[in-house]
Amino acid sequence: MRSTIYDEIGGAPAVTVVVDAFYERLIADPDLMAYFAGRDMARLKAHQRALVTVALGGTSEEYSGRMMQPAHRGLAITDMAFDKVLDHLHAVLVSAGVPPVTCAKILAILQPLRTDVVQSSVAVAR
């Protein structure tokens, strides 16, 4: 059987650890707070899980790139915010012991979503 990135990083238990740590980092980052503050925690965790699922190549129809644009419309996400979110994910993957080659693969899957997620060149007020 072909090994997936999901298997490579250690399957479901590793994903849960990564999602939790990722969530904590995003809500604690002063540059990202404005995007996530005041939102429902369960929904945000679901967001982080969705993002990690996409990153691991486990894209379901629901989380395909096609729906990224409507999902992020009106949120004024900047390139900087996108980069920071990916940096946090990278840091979490490294802490979870994910090898550099696998981290690079994961980030390469997410990068093309930038064009749909980033819909503003203006930084949000904070």
Binding site for ligand HEM (CB under 6 A): 32, 35-36, 39-40, 43, 46-47, 50-51, 54, 63, 71-72, 75, 77, 81-82, 85, 110, 113, 117
Residue 71 phi, psi (nearest 5): -65, -30
Choice between 98 and 117, CB closer to ligand HEM: 117
In angstroms, what is the minimal distance from the CB of 31 to ligand HEM?
A: 9
Provide φ and ψ at 109, rounded to 5°.
Answer: -75, -35
Q: Is the dihedral of CA 82, 83, 88, 92 positive or negative?
A: positive
Closer residue to ligand HEM, CB minimum distance, 1 or 40: 40
Q: Which residues of 76-114 are buried (b: 16+ CB within 10 A; e: fewer)?
A: bbbeebbebbbebbbebbeebebeeeebebbeebbeebe
Nearer to ligand HEM, 71 or 94 (CB): 71
| Beta carbon of residue 1, minimum distance to ligand HEM (angstroms, whole number) | 26
For ligand HEM, the closer CB: 14 or 36 = 36
